[in-house]
Structure 1
Amino acid sequence: MIIDNFGTKLNGKMTELRKAFRLLAIAIGISSTVQAQDVTVVDATDGIPIEYVYVSVDNQSFLTTDEKGMVNVSKLGSADALLTFQHTGYRTLSIQKADLKLDEMNTIRLEASNININEVVVSAVKWEHKAESLPVQVEVLDQQLIAFQNPQTSADLIGQSNQVFIQKSQLGGGSPMIRGFATSRVLLVVDGVRMNTAIFRGGNIQNVLNVDPLSIQRTEIIFGPSSVMYGSDALGGVMNFTTLQPQFALTEGETRINANAMLRTATANNERTVHMDFNVATHNFSSYTSISSSFFDDLEIGSYGDEFYTRPTYQVRGDTSDFTANNPNPNQQIYSGYEQFNVMQKLKYRANENVTWELDYHYSRLSDVPRYDRLTQTRNGNLRFGEWYYGPQEWQMARLGYTFTEPVGIFDKLKFTGAWQQFTESRHDRNFNSDIRENRFETVNAYSANFDFQKFFTEKTHLYYGLESVYNQTGSESYAEDITTGARSDIQSRYPNGSTWSSHSAYATWIQDLGNRFTLTTGARYSQIIINADFRESVLPLPFTTSTLNTGALTGNFGIAKEYGSASRVYFNAGTGFRAPNIDDIGKFFELDNGSTVIPNPDLQPEYLYSAEIGIQQRVKESYEIEVVAYYSYLDNAVDRRPTTVNGQDSILVDGELLQVQSVQNVDGAFIYGVSASFGADITDHWNVKASANYTKGEAFDGEPWRHAAPFFSNVSVGYRYERFRAQAYVNYNGEISPENMAPSERDKNIYITDENGNSYAPSWYTVNLKGTFRINEYVEVNAGIENILDVRYRPYSSGITAPGRNFIVAVRAEL
């Protein structure tokens, strides 16, 4: 009764707010005339409109529903066309266009389902395409999943796919591992623009955090080498983020205003997140704005587990020196909190039925982020660092998009995407009880231009081709500062200042329907990579002053998919990928934790991946699904750190300390193989189950374990749905990486516990979790969850910070 009364009162208040928005719209010229064959797509259970439903004819011409679940299909296909409605998390529905009523609204009801049949993906060929006919594994994460799971960052979102492993060195971090590859060997793409830059490093990175999860419409993860479509770096896979799009009003003369807001808190790090977005649209022009702000305090870990993961002491700066303080709550990871701010502005203009322009601006800023794993390092029994933090990490992107959809001979559709990005980051560290803080600053300006074409020769023969040009310029400066006097002195910068990296490429992919539900996909890409670096400003003596690389790479793929039964399929795919050296590989100066330093190597060459996979996706009566994918990859000419010499010496003096010299070199290679499996079932109209498991194994030519081969990890969940309520209980499990399976670069790190013989290893762990959502009415939804219910104390493999303990999450979303 209390909930019903609250819902009634809240519904009344929301109705008043919506009336105010409607009056505002009327004042600037709204028209509510319903046009012929308008459709509203809603959830069959609660009647809530579903946004971003794909509506297609023969999986070739596509429209999407707006925030009201509405779409005008009058000009989609012929009068007797078969319309297909598809959305992740719902059963696909097809109806005859002729059955739709004219001059009034038609309502289409989609039934929720764990089984995604005939799902549409964009990232595989850069245009909408039915997933079942493509010989690739693709995972889709949509807006509904984001709202339900409430990830704090985009790294957490990717991890909640249960197909990607996430490593963290600090709370403000998150480095995805896909099929044994990570960092600069996997590719990030935002709205069609590659995010990887010339200084994406081989170590763990946190750039994915720049993408605001609350502004994401859809994320597609492509597994395996994707260099034909995306070029360098796409070895393990591609994470393609599509942010929320401006929506046009359906009819001429109509003006539409919509707004959304969200508040969220979580107890493990005292999260306070606020988000709002709003869309203002006419029939041919729309503006979308998204703003998010988050504050995270120091993270509290679980109570039950090894005390190695606690924080018993921490460093404090006194008037003139550092001292070690006892932590009154060792489960609180002091110096782990940070803040984040994101804003996104998009403008969209429809010049006519065939021409659309887009202009976007993204801005993201992380505050100072303490490098937690470094702050817990010890040397001679004492804390090693008095300070170690990343300065504010900023990302800006201005993007211009142009789409032309009128066939003109050599293409049926054209997309142009031009972008400028600027990445700013810095590192600041000071040894314990030292007055000298070292400061290093990096800036990358990245320019890119993409032309992507689509050509349908027949209904069975499709060609996708395009051109891409990317140019990166890197700025790198550094100085040491006495924190007591302010005096500054020169130190070695991280990269050669003013260095450049560029890539120019062309690609083509051919898709042929062979009949009998067989589909062939094959393609090739040629890329030319040019690098210029100048080391004449180097503080350390080097036997070279410049480095120039001008190299080409040819990659290709061949795959075939066979559909059978009720949207089941089996497929095989073989392909190659490559990663060209970047400025981080060729030109980085970097001190390691083990008494070594990394120096530049001007002679690096690209590394190549040769990979094959086979997959089967079996569906039964739209209620059960099982998918199994096995893959095997050979990485040739692999890039890795190895000992070297400088002017005949194997050690050099760095800041008064004699350090062994290493460099990034081309070594023999590595084998990476694995299998992933998933199962889903709609047991009844209300209950469903899902499960997934991933196993990866990697070995270098010398027999040593491969660093980025994640441990075995799996997930099992049970879901329940009734009218406006939805809940899910799930268990996450990670297997052990034993001492003999630890990569050489991991064995000496201080982030791991040790066995009775002093050997490092990563123990297994599991968590039990519960999440739910209740929609009070059409406009207000409440999400809540408890993560790590058993309050387990654990640390994921390769991570420098311990995972959250028992974590209570509450979020409220409202549509105005």
Structure 2
Amino acid sequence: MRKTLLLILLLCSITSFSQTKKDTTSSIKLDAILISTQRFAKPKRKVTQQVESISKIEMETGNFQTSPDVLANSGILAVQKSQQGGGSPNIRGFEASRILLVVDGIRMNNLIYRAGHLQNSITVDKNILESIDVLFGPSSTIFGSDALGGAIYFQTRDPKLLSESNGKKLTGNFISNYSSSNNGFLGHLDLNYATEKWASLTSFSYNDYGDLKMGKRKNGSNDFFGERPTFVQTNNGVDEVVLNDSRYVQKFSGYKQYDFLQKIIYQQNENTEHSLNFQYSNSSDVPRYDRLTDLTSKGKLKFATWNYGPQKRLLSAYKLSQKKVFLNSDLNLTASYQNIEESRINRNFGNPNQSSRVDNVSVFAINADFRTKIGKGDFIYGADIYYDDLNSTGVKKNIVTYAETVTDSRYPDGKNNTFRAEGFISYSNDITKTASYNASARAGYTTLNSEIATNFLKLPYTTMSQESLIYSGAVGIVNNASKNSKIAFNLASGFRVPNIDDLAKIFDSSAGTLIVPNKNIKPEKSVTADLSITLWKGKQFQLENVFYYTRLYDAIIISPYLLNGQSSIIYEGENSLIYANQNQGNGAISGISSTVKSYITKSLLLYGTFNFTHGRVQHDNEKEPLDHIAPYYGKAGLKYESDLLNLDLYMLYNDKKKLSEYSPSGEDNLKYAPIGGTLSWQTYNLKATLLLSNQYTFFSGIENILDIQYRTFASGINASGRNIFLGGKYQF
């Protein structure tokens, strides 16, 4: 595998530097790319932090089913899945609440984002995205808490005024496709209505995914793994184990989802713009597939039901953009409200009592960004204020008698809230004609309050509260020494303030293990240094290598814990060892990521990515593997582009992960991996886009052509087998 990757890199270098300069139709455009993830737009050449972008065209031609699937197929980060309806991105060994999800400049992370595996990116409709930008390394000075490993910035499309829509008042797109591996169907419609002063964009998507079929062929010489020979079926309140008609069909992995977006902009004058943004995502019950395959100590299926209830996300926001309002500063002011509902529904086999735990989160936020000039440099400053509120309930229902009783909730069932008020500054300027620098800082104050109204576990306390002063900083320098090179160095710190999930969660993370509250934890922090070296030749070749090293302090890790002097407790009828989140020493993460793109001819692009991460944490005078450290992975492909036809033949690859490299915390889900750990795998994929006219586009392709059976690192469900998809887009 390593020899293959080196050959690709070498071939790209040879083919690019041996060719003459051409005026390519599709090219590597460094100067044209603007990064909006720095609070205000900024040329990519002057950004010291590593940022990778996925465009709307790449998402459309790739014909991916969900936003996590877009990320998983990019080759620039890893994605974990516990069920088909999910996807937890991993950036440089950080995952879930240690990376930040942002949509249209608004934080998605809230007070119940967990540190394990997080599936919330599924609620962002990829059909209405303009781009996805991935920020690598600490981004706390830009966005605040949680961005230890980086941030993923989802930018939805904006309405277009009449001047931007070629004089057409009504424009839109209709997209539909079908996928064979899960009988998946997508229908999407968006409409843009434009006038000279205001515009409206309306979008609706509906997705219906059936049970996912895994690959039927062995992964090399490895044994078959993850097949589904039986499943539980319930009739008239009686559970029975049923033989699966096809052991390759992952029974009870399907789900449905719909997404709605409404945006309105009003251009008051050349200096003032108002915008409204409304988003709503909802789903059917989403089966937690990995839990449905859990076995008891006697080797029988443990659960009859284990679902995430409908995943609901509502966002409403108002934004004011105005030039020259204060000290000659441009202003972006956003006031937003989010409501998120998550629920967990589970019932043991043969037990008529079904537990439902519902968590409802409200998030209120005000964000103010200002930009002005100090001398010749750009000065950005502002403030962020957030208030999160949680209502957590638990109900146990008998599916035969329908009798209901109150049971323990996932989080304390009293008052739960967090408050954050933070300010930030950033300054960037040129040192010479080719070199520039930037420096930024953030500081603030946070509070957390949690109240246990019903003390089911008889904890020695019923209230928890914390106050924290937080701070972070970053400094970077970039030198474009010539037209063909760029060197950037960045040093940044990040922080993550413990939330309700960290302090107060009550959860059976696996069979015989119970996580209980611990109010004595403090923020975890990171410091990262990275060096990027980029070489290119005109618009035809680019090679970027980024080397990084991160120190993690006061790492929050799930470890054995004593509750009332006891190390175990009877929970849900089972004797469970007690664990809790605790600050357990310091960690170190290092790695390299490489990206290469080279046009062999005007229409033929050779490209590849490579990512390697190594992580360790030290506590109790011992070094252990950090969790969430994926084995090396990447993507290599050959793409043909013309005005009529685009073809993309590519390989996704992943190395194996040995048992010795798994974290003892359990977050790497060794129990759902093959014996011996994660296996290496490669899939081959071919995708085609046919552009018949400015109105009609057709998509077709085959994923996992060899129908290989495999499971991605830390996942609890097998990946798709051979998938044939067909789709089309009508633009009017």
Note whether the superposition's TM-score is higher than 0.5: yes
**Aligned pairs (5 A) from 1:327-476:** 327-379=244-296, 380-405=298-323, 407-408=324-325, 410-458=327-375, 460-476=376-392
Cα displacement (A) at 1:251: 9.2
Cα distance in structure 1, aligned partners of 2:166 and 2:98: 49
Cα distance in structure 1, aligned partners of 2:143 and 2:411: 26
Cα distance in structure 1, aligned partners of 2:36 and 2:227: 42
Cα displacement (A) at 1:360: 1.2
Structure 1 position 743 matched with structure 2 position 663: yes
**Aligned pairs (5 A) from 1:200-211:** 200-211=113-124
Cα distance in structure 1, aligned partners of 2:347 and 2:601: 60
Structure 1 position 643 matched with structure 2 position 560: yes
Q: Is the 8 A contact 2:308 2:345 kept in 1?
A: yes
**Aligned pairs (5 A) from 1:113-512:** 113-250=26-163, 256-305=169-218, 306-379=223-296, 380-405=298-323, 407-408=324-325, 410-458=327-375, 460-497=376-413, 498-512=415-429
SS, match of residue 208 in structure 1: helix
SS, match of residue 57 in structure 2: helix
Structure 1 position 591 matched with structure 2 position 591: no
SS, match of residue 502 in structure 2: helix
Cα distance in structure 2, aligned partners of 1:674 and 1:434: 48
Cα displacement (A) at 1:501: 1.1
Cα displacement (A) at 1:699: 0.8
Cα displacement (A) at 1:261: 0.4
Amino acid in the other structure paired with 2:644: R
CA RMSD of aligned residues (A): 1.6
- Of 759, 767, 771 in structure 1, the residue corresponding to residue 687 of structure 2 is 771
SS, match of residue 783 in structure 1: strand
Deviations, residues 453-503 of structure 1 (Å, cap 9, x unaligned): 111234x31111110001100010001111111112222111113200111
Cα distance in structure 2, aligned partners of 1:114 and 1:690: 12
Cα displacement (A) at 1:152: 0.6
Say which is worse superposed, 718-727 or 438-447, in terms of deviation: 718-727
Q: Is the 8 A contact 1:786 1:809 kept in 2?
A: yes
Q: Is the 8 A contact 2:446 2:467 kept in 1?
A: yes
Q: Is the 8 A contact 2:592 2:611 kept in 1?
A: yes
* Percentage of identical aligned residues: 33
Q: Is the 8 A contact 2:568 2:576 kept in 1?
A: yes
Deviations, residues 215-267 of structure 1 (Å, cap 9, x unaligned): 10111111000000100000111111110100001299966111210111110
Cα displacement (A) at 1:706: 1.3
Q: Is the 8 A contact 2:74 2:635 kept in 1?
A: no
- Of 800, 803, 816 in structure 1, the residue corresponding to residue 716 of structure 2 is 800
Say which structure, 1 or 2, has more relative contact order (CA 8 Å, 6+ apart): 2
- Of 451, 455, 466 in structure 2, the residue corresponding to residue 534 of structure 1 is 451
Amino acid in the other structure paired with 2:281: S
Bigger Rg over Cα: 1
Matched residue, 1:44: none
Relative distance call for 1:600 and 1:774 in structure 2 (3 A) is same
Cα displacement (A) at 1:317: 1.2
Structure 1 position 725 matched with structure 2 position 645: yes
Relative distance call for 1:551 and 1:744 in structure 2 (3 A) is same
Cα displacement (A) at 1:721: 2.0
Say which is worse superposed, 576-585 or 651-660, in terms of deviation: 651-660
Q: Is the 8 A contact 2:528 2:551 kept in 1?
A: yes
Cα displacement (A) at 1:110: 9.0
Amino acid in the other structure paired with 2:352: D
Amino acid in the other structure paired with 2:625: P
- Of 474, 491, 494 in structure 2, the residue corresponding to residue 557 of structure 1 is 474
Cα distance in structure 1, aligned partners of 2:158 and 2:72: 24
Matched residue, 1:659: 576
Relative distance call for 1:463 and 1:110 in structure 2 (3 A) is farther
Cα distance in structure 1, aligned partners of 2:99 and 2:232: 36
Amino acid in the other structure paired with 2:478: A
Amino acid in the other structure paired with 2:102: V
Deviations, residues 330-370 of structure 1 (Å, cap 9, x unaligned): 00000000001001001100111100000111000011000
SS, match of residue 623 in structure 2: coil
Relative distance call for 1:394 and 1:408 in structure 2 (3 A) is closer
Amino acid in the other structure paired with 1:478: G
Matched residue, 1:581: 498
Cα distance in structure 2, aligned partners of 1:302 and 1:654: 37
Q: Is the 8 A contact 1:252 1:282 kept in 2?
A: no
SS, match of residue 225 in structure 2: helix
Amino acid in the other structure paired with 1:704: E
Amino acid in the other structure paired with 2:374: F
Structure 1 position 634 matched with structure 2 position 551: yes
Say which is worse superposed, 140-149 or 409-418, in terms of deviation: 409-418
Q: Across the two proteins, how many residue pairs are aligned to each other?
A: 701
Cα distance in structure 1, aligned partners of 2:550 and 2:252: 40
Matched residue, 1:706: 626
SS, match of residue 372 in structure 2: strand
Cα distance in structure 2, aligned partners of 1:643 and 1:588: 15
Cα distance in structure 2, aligned partners of 1:457 and 1:749: 54
Relative distance call for 1:790 and 1:249 in structure 2 (3 A) is same
Cα distance in structure 1, aligned partners of 2:599 and 2:238: 63
Cα distance in structure 1, aligned partners of 2:467 and 2:292: 40
Cα distance in structure 2, aligned partners of 1:501 and 1:251: 42
Relative distance call for 1:252 and 1:680 in structure 2 (3 A) is closer
Q: Is the 8 A contact 1:221 1:240 kept in 2?
A: yes
Cα distance in structure 1, aligned partners of 2:208 and 2:513: 36
Cα distance in structure 2, aligned partners of 1:343 and 1:748: 34
Amino acid in the other structure paired with 2:318: L
SS, match of residue 155 in structure 1: helix
Amino acid in the other structure paired with 2:84: L
Q: Is the 8 A contact 1:119 1:132 kept in 2?
A: no
Uncovered stretches (5+) of structure 2, i.e. residues with no partner: 1-21
When normalised by structure 1's length, the TM-score is 0.84
Cα displacement (A) at 1:621: 2.8
Q: Is the 8 A contact 1:135 1:573 kept in 2?
A: yes
Uncovered stretches (5+) of structure 1, i.e. residues with no partner: 1-108, 755-759
Relative distance call for 1:485 and 1:110 in structure 2 (3 A) is farther
When normalised by structure 2's length, the TM-score is 0.94
Q: Is the 8 A contact 1:396 1:422 kept in 2?
A: yes
Q: Is the 8 A contact 1:134 1:519 kept in 2?
A: no
Cα displacement (A) at 1:431: 0.6
Cα distance in structure 1, aligned partners of 2:541 and 2:557: 43
